[in-house]
Amino acid sequence: MSCGIGHVQEAQVKAEELRSQINYYDYLYYAKDAPEVSDAEYDELMRRLRAIEEHYPELIAPDSPTQRVPAVKIEAFATVEHREPMLSLANAFNFHELEAWYKRAAKMAGTEKFRFVCEPKIDGLAVALVYENGRFVQGATRGDGLHGENISENLRTIRSIPMQLQGKDYPERFEVRGEVYMPKSAFEAMNNERAERGEPLFMNPRNAAAGSVRQKDVKLTASRKLDIWIYQLGWADGDSPPTHSATLEWLNGLGLRVNPEIKRFEKLDDVQAFYKTWEERRHGLEYEIDGMVVKIDDKSVWDELGYVGREPRWAIAYKFAPIQATTKLIRIAINVGRTGSLNPYAILEPVRVGGVIVKQATLHNEDDIRRKDIREGDTVIVQRAGDVIPQVVGPVVSKRTGNPRKYKLPKKCPVCKSEAVRPEGEAMSYCTNISCPAQMFRWITHFVYAMDIDGLGEQWVWNLLDRGLIEDPADVYFLTMEQLVALDRMGEKLATKILANIEASKQMNLNRLLSALGIRHVGGEIALVLANHFQTLEAIANASEEEIAEVEGIGPKIAASVYAYFHDRQKMAIIDKLKKAGVNMEQRQPKRIEGPLSGQTFVFTGTLGVMPRGKAEALVTRLGADATGSVTRKVTYVVAGADPGSKLAKAGSYGIPVLDEDGFLAMMREHGELE
């Protein structure tokens, strides 16, 4: 017989063995985050178990790992009564409020000596899971705190909820509580798919999780990639550890997924410091948190402190400044990017979000606006996440008045009035006039920045364009002393410095020139890939689209854009001018220098105030370090200037030390590189 299935008794033993193996590997994977088998080995165990169960359907146990998704739909969710009410938490919004909470608790308990457990406050949906003799028997929503809905079938589909606990160290019946959530990446992927099918989008991961878990068609829940963190023991028929931290450790040992970021502290100041680090680090997490939950560790204190209404006195939610707010979208305006892209953005009635006043927010592109159905005059939700540019999440349709028109991107460039076109397969429309002043201005300022021409700020670029002294980036190389000093408020000293920097920029490596050229989809990292592969600008310009696409790391979209750029007559005329000016067009391999920073890797992000990024990179290279563009675990330091963007969050999530500019300059001084 195939798959070695023999007698029913033998099969039963084998099935039990497979189930317990699978359960154990689930435990290692989900509860311990320390997988021991490959996906393929795991899948093989599942396949063998399925084969037995297909052959002997009478052996199928309801909590078998193969039975997570039932075939039938749920008619209605039954109501369950919570044996202990599911409470909520009081909030603190600043240190002062946290301290007031602590002082009240200390006074009531007659001691100031507490240990605190600090936990990420997961932004999802609270559930209660009941285990009987180690088996999952019921899962319910919080509902009104006293009664919830029985969503056991839906919760079974969440792979990180064990159907069978590990070991034997559990009471006969007990309940744990936790938060079901949807990881950010799953949320984005799901919304993208929904958009493609023209379905309405979920506003945030929490709504998505709540909507997914209460599906009567359990297959839908199963398709939604939900996960859970367990943060509390609800009740237990039997003993449990005397402290909350020990309880969480115990639950984790039973196979329940407990957040590894949870920490214990003895001083409130340390709680505060921990909270502060999370204000930034939260953005690098795979799930959304809206604060920290601070709990007193000693459970005997819990009984002493009791409750106020529905809120325990022994715990508090220490919330982050809200990152979302609603306001009125006055108008949708367009800004023309350096590649000619028409970038729609929202002009808003000023609103405070996450401690900052926001007046403008990005709207990404036309499709995004139409998909979310954002219209001028709408009340909209605005979001700020860390250092990311504020964005409009969506309209509050219930507050829409009148019947505003659906948004349409203009067909003409709002600056030069030339035709705008949207290339096939692209999300953005582009102004077709390469001499469009808005486009040129952005391109030249970008060029100047990328080529490290220090001193030639936006104001000067604008002035030079205005006077017709430059028309494109290459003209910068033909500026003279007389022309510069003739500008209002430009002294000889500054002019000399600018001219020296222009001269020095001719020696920039090819990758820097490539990113300065403003080729659509070619940023710093792609430019480096192209430069390293082709070595000369000429080789890139002569390459076929296929040859470009064959380069590792270059997709067809980038290849098409690079190819088109070097087959545009106007662009090639500018490149010719650059050549005539003596700008380097080759990739020179920097000699690796041995120095005090050998073996270290630096990433620079954001705008440095004192030193241009290129110079900073050159400095660390001179000391033996590498400077790269992307944050990986190998990076030693991230140096963050103003508006650092997502790299900072990534550094936070990897625990890479971040230096600000002062810290970086101090380090360079230590190595004798600066006075």
311-330: which residues touch ligand IVH (CB under 6 A)? 312, 315, 317
- Per CB under 6 A, the segment of 85-93, 325-333, 438-446, 618-626 that binds ligand IVH is 85-93
Q: Examine residue 247 and tell whether it contacts ligand IVH (CB under 6 A).
A: no
Cβ atoms of residues 140 and 188 within 8 Å: no
Residue 122 in the binding site for ligand IVH (CB under 6 A): yes
* Residues 459-498 contacting ligand IVH, CB under 6 A: none
Q: Which stretch binds ligand IVH (CB under 6 A): 119-127, 218-226, 516-524, 649-657?
A: 119-127
Q: How many angstroms separate the Cα of 287 from the Cα of each of 99, 182, 205?
A: 28, 7, 8
Complex with ligand IVH: residue 117 or 361, whichever CB lies closer: 117
Report the residue number, 69 or 305, with the smaller CB distance to ligand IVH. 305
Interface region with ligand IVH, contact rule CB under 6 A, candidates 61-69, 212-220, 310-318, 611-619: 310-318
Q: Which of residues 338-357 bind ligand IVH (CB under 6 A)?
A: none
Choice from 14, 19, 48, 121 touching ligand IVH (CB under 6 A): 121
**Which member of 174, 231, 441, 460 binds ligand IVH (CB under 6 A)?**
231
Give the contacts of 576 (CB within 8 A, at least 6 positions apart): none
**Polymer length of the chain:** 675
Rounded Cα–Cα distance for residues 115 and 519 (Å): 56
> ∠ at Cα 665 (662, 669), nearest 5°?
135
Choose the binding region for ligand IVH from 82-90, 195-203, 363-371, 561-569 (rule: CB under 6 A).
82-90
Q: Please, which residues have CB within 8 angstroms of residue 550's CB and are 6 or more apart in sequence?
A: none
Residue indicated by tokens 């605190």 = 116
| Radius of gyration, CA atoms only, the chain | 30
User: Which span (115-123, 475-483, 513-521, 591-599) binds ligand IVH, by CB under 6 A?
Assistant: 115-123
Q: Output the smallest distance, CB 553 to ligand IVH, in A.
A: 39
Rounded to 5°, the CA angle 382-383-387 comes to: 135
- To ligand IVH, the closest distance from the beta carbon of 628 in angstroms equals 36
SS3 content of the chain, % helix, strand, coil (to 5): 40, 20, 40
Taking CB under 6 A as the criterion, the residue among 60, 87, 236, 541 binding ligand IVH is: 87
DSSP 213-266: HT-SSHHHHHTT--EEEEEEEEEESS---SBHHHHHHHHHHTT----TT-EEES
176 binds ligand IVH (CB under 6 A): no
Nearer to ligand IVH, 206 or 442 (CB): 206
Residues 132-161 that bind ligand IVH (CB under 6 A): 142
297 binding ligand IVH? (CB under 6 A): no
Closer residue to ligand IVH in complex, CB, 142/571: 142
Comparison of 316 and 631: residue with beta carbon closer to ligand IVH: 316
Q: How far apart are CA 306 and CA 109, in angstroms?
A: 10
The DSSP call for residue 396 is: -
Chain residue at closest Cβ approach to ligand IVH: 126
Residues binding ligand IVH: what is the number (CB under 6 A)?
Answer: 15
> Which residues, 6 or more positions from 149, have their beta carbon under 8 angstroms from its beta carbon?
77, 78, 79, 80, 140, 141, 143, 214
Per CB under 6 A, the segment of 38-46, 116-124, 202-210, 664-672 that binds ligand IVH is 116-124
Residue 122 or 623 with smaller CB distance to ligand IVH:
122
Catalytic residue among 32, 103, 113, 121: 121
The token pair that represents 483 in the structure block:
């022309």
In terms of CB distance, is 101 or 565 closer to ligand IVH? 101
90 within 8 A of 149, measured Cβ to Cβ: no
Asked if 18 touches ligand IVH (CB under 6 A), the answer is no
Q: Which of residues 265-294 bind ligand IVH (CB under 6 A)?
A: 293
- 121 among known catalytic residues: yes
Q: Is 31 in the site for ligand IVH (CB under 6 A)?
A: no
Between 226 and 640, CB nearer to ligand IVH: 226
d(CA 123, CA 227): 12
Q: Is-contact 289 261, C-beta < 8 A?
A: no
Nearest approach, Cβ of residue 117 and ligand IVH (Å): 9
20/404 Cα distance (integer angstroms): 60
| Shortest Cβ 254–ligand IVH spacing (Å) | 18
Q: How many beta carbons lie within 10 A of that of residue 147, not counting itself?
A: 15
Instruction: Report the alpha-carbon distance of residue 26 to residue 34 in Å, rounded.
Output: 10
Instruction: Please name the residue that has the structure tokens 């020095």.
Output: 504
- Which span (31-39, 117-125, 220-228, 233-241) binds ligand IVH, by CB under 6 A? 117-125
DSSP 8-state symbol, 201: P
Q: Does 119 engage in binding with ligand IVH (CB under 6 A)?
A: yes
Q: Which of 149, 153, 179, 378 binds ligand IVH (CB under 6 A)?
A: 179
Of the candidate residues 88, 379, 463, 483, the single one contacting ligand IVH (CB under 6 A): 88
CB 179 within 8 A of CB 228: yes
Task: Give min distance, CB of 87 to ligand IVH, in A.
Answer: 4
Q: How does DSSP classify residue 321? A: P
* Number of alpha helices (DSSP H) and beta strands (DSSP E) in the chain: 24, 24
Of positions 89, 129, 540, 625, contacts ligand IVH by CB under 6 A: 89
Residue 232 binding ligand IVH, by CB under 6 A: yes
Taking the complex as a whole, the smallest distance from the CB of residue 188 to ligand IVH amounts, in Å, to 21
403 and 213 in contact (C-beta within 8 Å)? no
204 binds ligand IVH (CB under 6 A): no
Of 549, 11, 165, 89, nearest to 319 (Cα)?
Answer: 89
Q: Which residues contact 258 (CB under 8 A, 6 or more apart)?
A: 31, 229, 230, 231, 248, 249, 251, 252
Contact between 210 and ligand IVH per CB under 6 A:
no
User: Any contact of residue 439 with ligand IVH (CB under 6 A)?
Assistant: no
Identify the residue whose tokens are 């007193």.
296
Instruction: Pick the closer one to ligand IVH by CB: 102 or 345.
Output: 102
Task: Convert 76-92 into a string of H (helix), E (strand) and C (coil).
Answer: CCCEEECCCCCCCCCEE
Alpha carbons within 13 angstroms on the beta-carbon side of residue 14 total 20
Query: Interface residues with ligand IVH (CB under 6 A)?
Result: 87-89, 119, 121-122, 126, 142, 179, 231-232, 293, 312, 315, 317
Q: Give catalytic residue positions.
A: 121
